[in-house]
């Protein structure tokens, strides 16, 4: 938790997505999370505040998550 919260500043609003924290208004977000790879101009959490369909299209969409699933590394 210390590593996850190291850059968190009191009073700011954050979004947790696939094991990472971002400021709610972050832009041009691209990363590999615990489960999938992601690339957003604007975080879906922030977009969902004005466009409710984002929740179904991204956050709760099995197709979104499956299509971006990371390949597991094989152990030696």
Task: Specify the length of the chain in residues.
Answer: 76
* Domains of the chain, residue spans: 2-67
> pLDDT tens-digit profile of 4-60?
899 999 999 999 999 999 999 999 999 999 999 999 999 999 999 999 999 999 999
- Which pLDDT value is given to residue 72? 79
Report which of 26, 2, 24, 1 is spatially closest to residue 14, judged by C-alpha positions: 24
In angstroms, what CA-CA distances link 65 with 2, 3, 4, 10, 41? 27, 25, 22, 31, 17
Q: What is the pLDDT of residue 76?
A: 63
Among residues 8, 51, 2, 58, which one has the least CA distance to residue 33?
A: 58
pTM: 0.83
The SS3 call for residue 27 is strand
Residue 75 predicted with pLDDT over 80? no
pLDDT at position 74 is: 61
């Amino acid at each position: 938790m210390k590593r996850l919260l190291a850059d968190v500043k009191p009073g700011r609003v954050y979004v947790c997505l696939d094991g990472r924290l971002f400021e709610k208004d972050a832009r041009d977000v691209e990363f590999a999370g615990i489960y999938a790879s992601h690339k957003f101009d604007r975080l879906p959490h922030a977009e969902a505040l004005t466009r409710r369909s984002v929740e179904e299209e991204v956050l709760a969409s099995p197709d979104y998550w499956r299509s971006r699933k990371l390949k597991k590394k094989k152990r030696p």
